[in-house]
Each structure stands twice: as C-alpha cells, then as structure tokens.
Amino acid sequence: MSDVRVHNFSISLDGFATGAGQAPDAPFGHAGERLHEWMFATRFWHEMGGGRGGSGGTDNAFAAMHGPGVGAEIMGAGKFGPPGWQDDPAYKGAWGADPPFHTPVFVLTHRPRPSIEMEGGTTFHFLDASPAEALKRAREAAGGQDVRLGGGPSVIRDFLAEGLVDHMHVVQVPIVLGRGVRLWDGLESLEETYDIEAVSAPSGVTHLTFTAKSR
C-alpha cells in the first residue's frame, strides 16, 4: 500500500497555517509569505522555478522530500484558488500554466467541474468526496506511488482524524499570527499514534516529523 504524505506544511508558533482575510491577492491572508520564506530560500525552491542557487542545508533536505515517490496530490479547494473561484468556469487555479505538481491533482470541492490538463504533467481533477473516497481515487491515479496531501489545514485535519496520514512534515515558523486557520484543533492525543521528531534549523524554523506508529 502506498503512503499518504504531508510535506512542507508551515505553521506559526500559535499553530496557524493560514492567516485571516484570504483573498486573490493574499492567498495566506495577513500571514503573507512569512510562513514560507524558509522554503523560498532553499535550493529546492530555486530549482523548482528553473533557477539556481539557494541554501543546501537542513531546510533544503526537508523541502526536497516534496517530490520523489509521489504519484498524485490531494488538495483542498482553498489551495487551488482564492475564495469564489468556483464562480468562474474558466478558472485554472492559482499555480500558473505549469503547476509545481507534475502529477494528477485531486481538488476537493463541493462544486466539481470537468478535469483540466495543464503543462508539465499536472492534471486537476475535482471531487466532492470523503477523505477515504478521495484517497481511493488518488491511489488509483498514483500508479503505486505515494499520495501527497497538500493541505490546507482543514483537509489535513480531516485526513488525520480518519487515520489516513502515514507521514507528516510540519514546519514551525517563529512568528505569532494570532488569527487564521489552525492545524491542531481537534487532534488531541495525536502523539499516541505517531512517532514525533523535532529539529531546529539555523534559519530559525523547527521541522517536526510525524511517522505513523502502525506503519
């Protein structure tokens, strides 16, 4: 059975994965890009954009685990686009013509639409489905490889609550957001089913990995 993996999922000290006030020009609300600056500085990110350079240390080692072995992604509607995208039938997502997924991507939405084939191997499929149903579809599309769970926080919570996540990499950024959408709500005693490791990087962020004990 292939694994379900979460990578590079950034949260603030107070556990918010997005800020308040998400909008087309503010996909992470008042958090802005502060949750992801650690990743933008890595070689992984530079090379994903076709460039060179970037840091090659701890942050990069974690960030680079994002791609290998992944055959499909599942994401929430809020990661595909800003609030209201469902009202625009021609909308093709917030990720540009060549999205950084390069696999089938299953977008969870209560208003599905026909699939969209993008450049670079990414095809967006739209599902109104439970976590287990969506995972079944994604596993079929992944061709034996792992399924990446792309977020946002409420999608990850739903999958965790049903015990469907095998590996989770959370990056804690030393800022206090105060408002937004929390990752941890409703996950009491998560440590009972996961082995948890923590390592702080010189950049100031702390990488937390959760490995399912039942694996």
Site residues (vs a second copy, CB under 8 A): 13-15, 172, 174-179, 182, 184-191, 196-200, 204-206, 208
State the nearest-atom distance from the C-beta of 40 to a second copy, in Å: 18
CA dihedral over 181, 15, 200, 187, signed as positive or negative: negative
Shorter beta-carbon distance to a second copy: residue 121 or 174: 174
Shorter beta-carbon distance to a second copy: residue 189 or 214: 189
φ, ψ for residue 117 (rounded to 5)?
A: -95, 125
Q: Residues with Cβ < 8 Å from 160, sequence gap 6 or more? A: 168, 187, 190
CA dihedral over 142, 124, 67, 108, signed as positive or negative: negative
Coil, strand or helix at 141: helix
Shorter beta-carbon distance to a second copy: residue 36 or 92: 36
State the nearest-atom distance from the C-beta of 21 to a second copy, in Å: 13
State the nearest-atom distance from the C-beta of 127 to a second copy, in Å: 28
Q: Residues with Cβ < 8 Å from 87, sequence gap 6 or more? A: none
State the nearest-atom distance from the C-beta of 212 to a second copy, in Å: 15
Shorter beta-carbon distance to a second copy: residue 14 or 47: 14
> Residue 63: which H helix or E strand, with range?
helix 58-63
Shorter beta-carbon distance to a second copy: residue 25 or 188: 188
Residue type, 123: T
State the nearest-atom distance from the C-beta of 191 to a second copy, in Å: 5
Taking residue 54's Cβ as centre, other Cβ atoms within 10 Å add up to 19
